[in-house]
A = this chain, B = another copy of it.
Amino acid sequence: MAAEPGSTHVIGPDSELGQVFELAQQLRVDSVRASTSAGSGHPTSSLSAADLMAVLMARHLRYDWQRPANPAGDHLIFSKGHASPLLYAMFLAAGAIDEQELLTTYRRDGARLQGHPTPVLPWVDVATGSLGQGIAYGVGIALTGRDLEKQPYRVWVLCGDSEMAEGSVWEALDKAGRHKLAHFTAIIDVNRLGQTGPTEWGWDTDVYARRAEAFGCRALVVDGHDLAAVDQALTTAADGQAPTVIVARTVKGRGVAEIADAEGWHGKALPDDLAERAIAELGGVRRLTVRGPRPPADAHPREPVGEMPIELPRFEPGDKVATRVAFGKALVALGARADVVVLDAEVGNSTHTADFGKAHPERYFQTYIAEQQLIASAVAMAVRGYRPYAATFAAFLSRAYDFIRMAAISQVTMALSGSHCGVEIGADGPSQMGLEDLAMMRAVHGSTVLYPGDATCAAALTAAMADLEGISYLRTTRGAYPVLYPAGEPFPVGGSKTLRATDRDQVTLVGAGVTLHECLAAADHLAADGISARVLDLYSVKPVDGDALARAARDTGALVVVEDHHPEGGLGEAVLSALAEHRQTPAFAHLAVRNLPASGTPDELLDAAGLSQSCITRAARDLIAG
């Protein structure tokens, strides 16, 4: 794409670097204008990277600004999301937004130009702002492009230097190197200054370069303000030979003498008078337009995913089957859908994702023990239109909580599963027990939380997750328990199952997962004593079946909720919230893991935690006795 003939205001791949410099200055000016108009933001962090981004967008980023969904288009991720003024200035230069939007809406109420970029903007793949995440998403997208989409796009990630202290960065670069993701480039804006002062490694660009190389990437050290050097580095990075880390030495606040390389200017908009001087020093307001490289036209369009019949596994009522086993079998069946992909963190033989790996190896991704990258890759695949299922032990999803939280802001649809929940796991001890996962996952915006009590339910919910919006979570149990439901039984999300009920029930026992089986046994004990107990399978923890709970409260007047989880934020409080909403106020007992568990058999540990059938029986009796 040459510059438009006759126009001196259009910058393109063939423009002289002098013109690109003008673009860089425009990006600086607009970064200052946007943040000063908003009264907050990070202009100095934008100024340091303006030259890098000007060269990238004019000469290397193969992007269809008018059709960002073009499947062959490059991806640009601002891992340093606080440099949003620069990103939005690029949008303006590309003609994607207009000047009024930049200057009057940035950081304002309801605006899409938020303080940190999110995918409410069509040119943004993922939400950033939690540092150290952009490289991880970029690696995931590069992997998706090469191995799933077979598209020629490149992925460019702009990072700050401070965020290189995050371990997630190295989880990600390890994968870039291991998978030889030759279309991946990270650009580190080494501007030496973080939020509180000098960064850990200052301008020691060799530290970053050595590390990137040790992690299997090609490292290129450049002066980030030498446009020719930057252009050369980006050209090399785009040669398709190796994953690349460009280590660019830059100056924070570059171009504005009063604030350049000065401490105390992180995250501060320039006051009006200083902004005025800065804009003058930068050469004033420009109105350059960028027509950069376009995606290759011969890239194949994305194939639509057809409707495939899914033949779910069938389980015989009474047989003992672990819900994690049913999850694995259901995944294999779901593999009939070409958009379903599965990710493991080296526990696939425990979570049973490995079953999918055997059946559909081309859509099974091993991230090894790197849960942050596990989630980041799942987010990336979701962003690219796939339906990822990522699983590890429930306990170890806590390792990736920040990524899960951010995924909700990215508004992606992905399915997570955590196995080995609760004290039920037995001898391995508390480090392996998921006891906080319900609280953690319920608190995620827009999440769905599911906790099947048997294999039939687990398989049905696993299948349902493929079509749920947002982040869904399936909690599975280590041990094998009797199948309760016949094949074909429907399990609507937000529903529940009433397994025992009469019109003279004196109490309702509410369980999920392993505690459902304990509740059933407790109901037998109570029946032997002439007490009729209703039993509710609360397989849908969020949304929860408030109607059934309210009905049970009205009918029986007493609820015992039993959960293999710490008492806070899990099943019990989900029930209380639903009852409060329905203005039902039964007598209530809440059995949960209040102790610090140790090792033992599942039965011993359930009993020690007060969740066993005998504990439930006692609690129900006490409640009835009032």
Contacts and interface: CB of A to CB of B under 8 A. Distances in A.
Interface in A375-433: 395-396, 398-399, 401-402, 405-406, 408-409, 411, 427-432
B600 A128 contact: no
A348 B266 CA distance: 13
A598 B608 CA distance: 45
Contacts of A169: 167
Given A40-B427, A368-B162, A580-B590, A130 B444 contact: no
Contacts of A409: 430-431, 596
A442 B445 contact: no
A399 B130 contact: yes
A260 interface: no
A569 B431 contact: no
Interface string A547-568: 0000000000000000001111
Contact of A128 (B431, B445, B565): B431
Contacts of A583: 587-588
Contacts of A402: 395-396, 398-399, 401
A333 interface: no
Interface in A572-617: 572-574, 576-577, 580, 583, 585, 587-588, 590, 596, 598-601, 604-605, 608
A174 interface: yes
Contacts of A171: 165-167
A31 interface: no
Nearest to A604: B109
A167 B165 contact: no
Interface in A189-231: 194-196, 199-200, 207, 210-211, 213-215
Interface string A38-68: 1111000000000000000000000000000
B439 A396 contact: no
A176 interface: no
B162 A111 contact: no
A442 B443 CA distance: 12
Nearest to A38: B427
Contact of A395 (B130, B166, B577, B590): B130
Contacts of A113: 599
A129 B129 CA distance: 31
Contact of A170 (B127, B167, B401): B167
Contacts of A399: 130, 166, 401-402
Contacts of A213: 210, 214
Q: Counting chain B CB atoms within 10 Å of each CB, which of A113, A114, A344, A406 scores highest?
A: A114
Given A430-B409, A599-B107, A573 B566 contact: no
Nearest to A178: B200
Interface string A104-117: 00011111111110
A163 B107 CA distance: 41
Interface string A175-191: 00010000000000000
A600 B110 CA distance: 7
B109 A349 contact: no
A436 B115 CA distance: 20
Contacts of A395: 130, 402, 405
A535 B178 CA distance: 58
A344 B118 contact: no
A372 interface: yes
A70 interface: no
Contacts of A590: 577, 580
Interface string A129-169: 11110000000000000000000000000000011011111
List of 7 A-B pairs having minimum Cβ-Cβ separation, nearest first: A167-B167, A129-B431, A569-B569, A585-B585, A109-B600, A439-B443, A573-B573
16 contacts: A40-B427, A115-B427, A129-B432, A131-B369, A162-B369, A167-B170, A196-B346, A406-B431, A409-B430, A439-B568, A442-B569, A443-B569, A445-B566, A542-B568, A567-B577, A572-B577
